[in-house]
Amino acid sequence: MNNEVIDKKRREFLGASALVFSGAMLGVPAMTSATAIAADYRQNPFTLVYDGAITKNEPGKVNIHPVAYKLNGLEIVANVYTPANYDPSQKYPAIVVAHPNGGVKEQVAGRYAQHLAEQGYITITADAAYQGASGGEPRSVDKPANRVEDIHGMADFITRYPGVDVTRLGLLGVCGGGGYSLAAAKTDKRFKSIATLSMFNSGRVRRNGYVDSQLATIQDRLQQASNAHAQEVAGGEIFYSGDANLTDEQIATLPFDLYRQGYEYYWKTHAHPGSTFKYTTSSLLDLMRWDATDQIDLIDKPLLMIAGSKADSLYMTEDTFAKATGTNDKELFKIDGATHIETYWVPEYVEAAIGKLTPFFARTLSSDRS
């Protein structure tokens, strides 16, 4: 698909979603570590919503390339970032970046993809199937098998991209994308090293509740998911979970930093019309029987796991790290003072994460190791 068609599809998608964004931008509360200024996707030609985002492609600088490709019959929309002075006749290491649950490529995944391109990597980040600007009906299906296949699909595409050295392919997953990246890397040995940022084990949380707070209602929620699936396949209404139009006051009373700051990030300061918390309730049939740590010992490549020291999601990174016994080359790095969402955008915490990712990928994706 050529860029003109991709741009047309992007404009149609964003135009249809503009009202969603407009409502989300009302009443921005202050973030915890710093004051975040709301980023308007409409002010960026690529609809990027992070600080320092590319606004135009210039010779000699990191460039962004909107692309689209087919995956299992669905159209996947992605952004490829190429390093400064990119020469397709040369060979570059590449990194696949998987976005968080509910996120899209224009948010934190794009931010880290651009930073890594600044370090000399060709990077790719794509909207998950059934989500964002990618194809698939019904919308907002969120099944682990799909998310894992998305990562394989990004690897398929980027390893055929001009200039990519297929022997030097890395993987970075953020939040839910971190859990799914671990699952993909268990068997996809094209990835020579794996990193996660604020890793979120989607199966454990959907099954047990956040911080294992809903153990008593597992069977009830499975029944609800079963009922939703039955109605869906019968052609009835599609039910959704995780969607809530909360006021600032209601957000402030949420029990966990991840949710309080998550609503602020996704609905206000870094809102994008392709991003949504909701997912089909029937997806829980797959989510609740899945776990990112199952067969985690199959990962035998270098592993770096990064999380905020004050993140209430830290327990998932620590649990997964301890179970990743298949590799001796592993490190758990805690960003001092950071919560989960703050690793997405607070400059000092992003800098700390990049400060670990840069030498990790430089070492593990060097031409000497290929």
Q: Which pLDDT does position 355 carry in this prediction?
A: 98
Read off the pLDDT of each residue in 13-33 and give the average, rounded to a whole number.
37
In this predicted structure, the answer to whether residue 73 has a pLDDT above a threshold of 50 is yes
The pLDDT confidence band at residue 367, using thresholds 50, 70 and 90, is confident
Q: What is the CATH number of the domain that holds 356?
A: 3.40.50.1820
d(CA 341, CA 266): 10
Q: Which pLDDT does position 9 carry in this prediction?
A: 44
Lowest mean pLDDT among 14-18, 170-174, 185-189, 206-210: 14-18
With a CB cutoff of 8 Å and minimum separation 6, the contacts of 30 are none
Read off the pLDDT of each residue in 14-28 and give the average, rounded to a whole number.
34
Q: Which residues constitute the domain of residue 121?
A: 3-364
d(CA 213, CA 278): 20
In a domain, 190, yes or no: yes
Q: Which pLDDT does position 35 carry in this prediction?
A: 56
In a domain, 13, yes or no: yes
Provide the percentage of residues in the chain whose pLDDT is more than 70.
Answer: 90
Q: What is the pLDDT of residues 86-97, one digit of tens each?
A: 999 999 999 999
CA dihedral (349, 127, 21, 282) positive or negative = negative
Domain count, the chain: 1
Provide the percentage of residues in the chain whose pLDDT is more than 90.
Answer: 84
Q: Which pLDDT does position 121 carry in this prediction?
A: 98
In a domain, 312, yes or no: yes
Q: Which helix (H) or strand (E) holds 320?
A: helix 314-323
In a domain, 193, yes or no: yes
Query: pTM of the full predicted structure?
Result: 0.91
In a domain, 175, yes or no: yes
In a domain, 370, yes or no: no
Q: Which helix (H) or strand (E) holds 157?
A: helix 144-158
Q: What is the pLDDT of residues 337-358, one digit of tens each?
A: 999 999 999 999 999 999 999 9
Lowest mean pLDDT among 5-9, 222-226, 230-234, 296-300: 5-9
d(CA 357, CA 242): 31
For residue 109, what are its two tokens?
A: 């995944």
The pLDDT confidence band at residue 370, using thresholds 50, 70 and 90, is low
Find residue 20's DSSP bridge partners: none
Read off the pLDDT of each residue in 70-98 and give the average, rounded to a whole number.
98
In a domain, 149, yes or no: yes
In a domain, 335, yes or no: yes
Q: Which residue has the higher pLDDT, 249 or 287?
A: 287
For residue 124, what are its two tokens?
A: 């790719």
